[in-house]
Amino acid sequence: MDKRYEVARKRQDMLGKVIVFSSAVLLIVLVISLFYFVASKGLSTFIVNKIPLKEFLFSAEWRPDREVPQVGALPFIVGSVLVSIFAILISAPLGVSSAIFMVEISKKMGQKILQPAIEIFVGIPSVVYGWLGLSVLVPFISKHFGGLGFSLLAGILVLAIMTLPTITSVSADTIRSLPVEIREASYALGATRWQTIRHVLIPAAKPGILTAIILGLARAFGEALAVQMVIGNRPVIPKSFLEPMSTITSIITMEMGNTVMGTAWNNALWSLALLLLIISFFFIILIRLVGRRGMYR
Amino acid sequence: MKKIEVRDLDLFYGEVQALKKINLDVEPNSVLALIGPSGCGKSTFIRTLNRMNDLIEGVKISGTVLLDGKDIYKEVDVIELRKKVGMVFQKPNPFPMTVYDNVAYGPRIHGIRDKRTLNEIVEKSLKAAALWDEVKDRLHHSALSLSGGQQQRLCIARTLAVEPEVILMDEPTSALDPISTMKIEELIEELKKKYTIIIVTHNMQQAGRVSDYTAFFLNGELVEWGPTDQVFYNPKDKRTEDYITGRFG
């Protein structure tokens, strides 16, 4: 009886180990093969089609359908950077402020209204954001600022709204996790609530807040659909906020259906995908570095 | 004149009465120890003296607390009150900043900007907290790198930096080793020359060692208070005697 139990237990133990271990191996194999596939496709622009890396990164001429294809990705790189940075410049201050509001100023309202609202925000599919942008924002911009409405500005605003919940919820979690003792210490010295927030809580939560901002930035950089629906998709570097433009993600979704596997055009899109992958790795490393530094224990 | 006079102080957490009709005087430049078993209301009481209970929702207070004859709940601004009545907590709670910035925090939020003045305050406060020699070469290192005992003395220095008149200490040595505890007790002896000190302690020997007056709390009531020698060796109330002789608590 005891012996049988012992054997069954060992078998279960073994089974558990096998399942967990093989899942982990599968995951690692998947990541590596994904990276390998994107890299092999993306690098063939430079190896097979002999297009210099310099042209890809620094030329603004995107004519991949020509006899001698020109695949300068600069407009998309600049476009992605502009649209993401400006979106974050709007959503970071708003997000951090709302996080402070819901954690420190009005806990009741934060828990009852803001928190659920943010969860709903996160759950809305990006196509809905895009469609809203397309039917509300684009005509609004066109009417009040001129132009077509399809513009860098529209992209910035849509992304600002989309990254807001990420930044708010991660910042709020960080501020909430700060020990109550340091708040009390500050109040006991005669500090006001605002002084406590500004001089104790925000500095103490800085690594977490930075992580939140980088996460938002990564989301903005990687977002394709909603952006593509409102920015007009012209492969040029925009000269003003009101001009149409393209991003790395939007050009991939726009053109991938039009290309034939193995052509220079198709390969150039894969190169853009590889670039995105590298940038997202970079964001991950950045988050790790920031998160490790000076976390409050 | 008494430094603090407490008259008929009641405190409720929602429906629960945590303090019942407390009446107590505190002499200037003395050390008052608050003793009693856990949950007897001594920490709650000490927090009424700098209005830290204001931060907790559902707390209702009636009665009066006079500081230098002024009602701290009616006549004194809470910021001014907390400048005058500093507090050291149970667990060392330095801010996650440098040693220097921790001590300079109070003066800075009260408007002192001048670098030289700040330097003087920091040095003076750290010296008064008997920490200067240990940290003078590490002023710009993180306060979190100090040992527990050093962190607690840093918290005392931080409190001294705003030049309070009264210092409340809520079991300041309960998280510390015996040597750090001894240093803090010596410090209390020194500080009482300039400040009025009220200390909550679990440790009877500590109360006996450091205090001039002792108040014994039980179930939210102030059972007895008076000069420490009297409370310890000649208690009037049977419950005080039982607690002090170790029959419960």
DSSP annotation of A264 reads H
Of B45, B48, B106, B44, nearest in space to B72 by CA: B48
**Cα gap A45→A39, rounded to integer Å:** 10
Task: Give chain B positions within 8 Å (CB) of A200.
Answer: 95, 105
- Give pLDDT, residue A64: 86
Instruction: Quote the mean pLDDT of chain B.
Output: 92
B226-248: string of b/e by CB count within 10 Å (b at 16+)?
bebeebbeebeeebbbebbeeee
Find the mean pLDDT for residues B92-101: 95
Do the beta carbons of residue B5 and residue B66 sit within 8 Å?
A: yes
Predicted pLDDT of residue A229: 94
Structure confidence at residue A296 (pLDDT): 46
Q: Contact at 8 Å (CB) between B164 and B83?
A: yes
**CB contacts < 8 Å between A and B, how many?**
65
DSSP state of A68: S
Predicted TM-score (pTM) above 0.90: no
Minimum distance, in Å, between the CA of residue B229 and any CA atom of chain A: 31
DSSP lists the bridge partners of residue B213 as B32, B227
Q: From the candidates B48, B49, B55, which should be mutated to test the interface with A, based on the most A CB atoms within 10 A?
A: B55
Task: Give whole-number Cα distances, B124 to A151, B100, B103, B155, in Å.
Answer: 60, 12, 10, 14
CB contact under 8 A, B158 and A199: no
Domain ranges, ordered by start, for chain A: 1-36, 76-252
The model's pLDDT over B169-182, given as tens digits with 9 standing for 90+, comes to 999 998 888 888 99
Mean pLDDT of B157-165: 95
Indicate yes or no: CB of B97 within 8 angstroms of CB of A203. yes
Query: Exposed e or buried b for every residue in A135-170, given b needs 16+ CB within 10 A?
Result: eebbeebbeeeebebbbbbbbbbbbbbbbbbbbbbb
Residue A243 contacts residue A152 (beta carbons within 8 Å) = yes
Q: Kindly report, residue by residue over B14-40, the tens digit of the pLDDT.
A: 889 999 999 999 999 999 999 999 888
Give pLDDT, residue B137.
94
> Is residue B98's pLDDT more than 80?
yes
Q: What is the largest CA-CA distance in chain B?
A: 57
Nearest Cβ partner for A192 among B79, B94, B106: B79
| Domain range A76-252, CATH class | mainly alpha
Count of domains observed in chain B = 1
- Residue to mutate among B91, B93, B145, with most A CBs inside 10 A, is B93
Pseudo-torsion of CA A120, A126, A129, A131, nearest 10°? -140
**Token digits of residue A178:** 């700060």
**pLDDT of B3 above 80:** yes
Chain B's closest residue to A105, CA to CA, is B55
Q: Do B105 and A184 touch (CB under 8 A)?
A: no
Residue B86 CB-density burial (10 A; 0-12 exposed, 13-18 middle, 19+ buried): buried
Look at A185 and B110 and tell me if their CB atoms are within 8 Å: no
Supply the DSSP symbol for A62: E
pLDDT per residue rounded down to tens, chain A (297 residues) = 578 888 888 999 999 999 999 999 999 999 999 999 999 999 999 998 888 999 999 998 898 888 888 889 999 999 999 999 999 999 999 999 999 999 999 888 888 998 899 888 888 999 999 999 999 999 999 999 988 899 999 999 999 999 999 999 999 999 999 999 999 999 999 999 999 999 999 999 999 999 999 999 999 999 999 999 999 999 999 999 999 999 999 999 999 888 888 888 999 999 999 999 999 899 889 888 887 765 444
- Under the banding of pLDDT at 50, 70 and 90, the label for residue B248 is low
Asked whether the beta carbons of residue B93 and residue A187 sit closer than 8 angstroms, the reply is no
Q: Do A189 and B93 touch (CB under 8 A)?
A: no
How is residue A167 written in tokens?
A: 């930044």
**Residues of chain B with a CB closer than 8 angstroms to some CB in chain A:** 50, 52, 55, 79-83, 86-87, 89, 91, 93-97, 105-106, 108-110, 144, 155, 158-159, 162
Count of other CB atoms within 10 angstroms of residue A58:
12
Q: Are strands B213-218 and B31-35 parallel, antiparallel or unpaired?
A: parallel
Angle at B238 between CA B236 and CA B242, to 5 degrees: 120
Using the Cβ of A187 and the Cβ atoms of chain B, whether some distance falls under 8 Å is answered with: yes
The CATH number of whichever domain residue B108 belongs to comes to: 3.40.50.300
* Cβ contact B55–A192 (<8 Å): no
What is the helix (H) or strand (E) element at residue A55, kind and residue range? helix A53-58
Whether residues A187 and B82 touch (CB distance < 8 A) is answered with: yes
The Cα–Cα gap between B186 and B39 comes to 28
Residue B155 scores a pLDDT above 60 = yes
Residue B116 CA to residue A270 CA, distance in Å, equals 61
Residue positions forming the annotated binding site of B:
36-43
Residue B78 structural domain: 4-248
Which residues, in sequence order, are bridge partners of residue A245? A232
Please state, as a whole number, how many other Cβ atoms lie within 10 Å of the Cβ of residue A227. 33
- CA distances for B41 relative to A80, B21, B213, angstroms: 60, 12, 18
Instruction: Classify residue B158 by burial, with Cβ atoms within 10 Å: 0-12, 13-18, 19+.
Output: buried
The per-residue pLDDT for A94 is 96
Vertex A16, ends A12 and A21: CA angle to 5°? 150
B56 pLDDT tier (thresholds 50, 70, 90)? confident
- Residue A295: name the closest of A131, A179, A130, A213 by CA: A179
Report the amino acid identity of residue A175: I
Q: Which candidate from B52, B55, B95 shows the least CB-CB separation from A182?
A: B95
pLDDT at B249: 55
Number of residues written out for chain A = 297
Please give the backbone phi and psi of residue B127, each rounded to the nearest 5 degrees, phi first: -65, -45
Q: Smallest CA–CA separation between A145 and chain B, in Å?
A: 45
Measure the CA–CA gap between B46 and A117, rounded to whole angstroms: 40
Residue A172 near residue A137 (C-beta atoms within 8 A): no
- Ordered DSSP codes for chain B: --SEEEEEEEEEETTEEEEEEEEEEE-TT-EEEEE-STTSSHHHHHHHTTTGGGGSTTEEEEEEEEETTEETTTTS-HHHHHHHEEEE-SS----SSBHHHHHHHHHHHTT---HHHHHHHHHHHHHHTT-HHHHTT-TTSBGGGS-HHHHHHHHHHHHHTT--SEEEEESTTTTS-HHHHHHHHHHHHHHTTTSEEEEE-S-HHHHHHH-SEEEEEETTEEEEEEEHHHHHHS-SSHHHHHHHTTS--
